[in-house]
Amino acid sequence: MTGTAASGFSRRGILGVFAATTVVAAPTYSNAFGFLRGAGDVRRIRMYSGRTGEMLDTIYWIEGDYVKEALKEINYFMRDWRSDEVTKMDARTIDIAAASHRLMDINEPYMLLSGYRTAKTNAMLRSHSSGVARNSLHMRGQAADLRLQSRSVSQIFKAASACSAGGVGKYSRSNFVHMDCGPIRHWGG
């Protein structure tokens, strides 16, 4: 039990998301896991924005189907707050964030630092930081930068990496983890 508490993972959390993580982490295998549909599977995302003061707590997937209205809420919540522009967020990114959250077995919502970014916002951020990619997946609605008060960057990074889906970047000095639905890769220190 001591190792469980130190790592931030619980046996219940790991077992509870094993099936969902498998389906989420490998969307191309979702048809192979069709037997899981109808088993009461629900996906929920909880976030707040320190920039806008908004909160989001929504079930966005029920028994194999995305909930359109919930995805619209997510799109608006994850908008580029600097320009107030909204795009369709890639649900696979939300799946990775939700699976990571469940794996950590916590109730605290993520703090969203950055979701969608317009090309103009990305260029501005890039001019101030070498850590911003020129062709960032944020501009396609395929990435999110997230933080939790109750978990370290390393714990969040490990949970997201355990999903084996997309890119996971650890930004220890800035205290956040980047998650995206692009190719599987890991970086940061």
Residue 57: name the closest of 116, 118, 115, 112 by CA: 112
Q: Report the distance separating Cα 8 and Cα 3, nearest Å.
A: 9
Burial of 139 (0-12, 13-18, 19+ CB in 10 A): buried
> Tens place of pLDDT for every residue, the chain, 189 residues?
444 444 455 544 444 444 444 444 444 334 323 333 344 589 999 999 989 999 999 999 998 899 999 999 999 999 999 999 999 999 999 999 999 999 999 999 999 999 999 999 888 887 887 777 778 999 999 999 999 999 999 999 999 999 999 999 999 999 999 999 999 999 996
Q: Are 167 and 186 in contact (CB under 8 A)?
A: yes
Q: Are 177 and 118 in contact (CB under 8 A)?
A: no
β-strands 110-114, 65-66 pairing: unpaired
Residue that is written with structure tokens 């001019």 in the block: 127
Residue 95: name the closest of 182, 4, 181, 155 by CA: 181
pLDDT at 65: 93
Q: Report the distance separating Cα 98 and Cα 46, nearest Å.
A: 8
C-alpha dihedral sign at 113, 115, 121, 127: positive
Q: Are 52 and 73 in contact (CB under 8 A)?
A: no
pLDDT at 37: 39
> Could you list the residue range(s) of the whole structural domain that residue 9 is in?
2-188
Total count of domains within the chain: 1
pLDDT at 117: 95
pTM, rounded to two decimals: 0.78
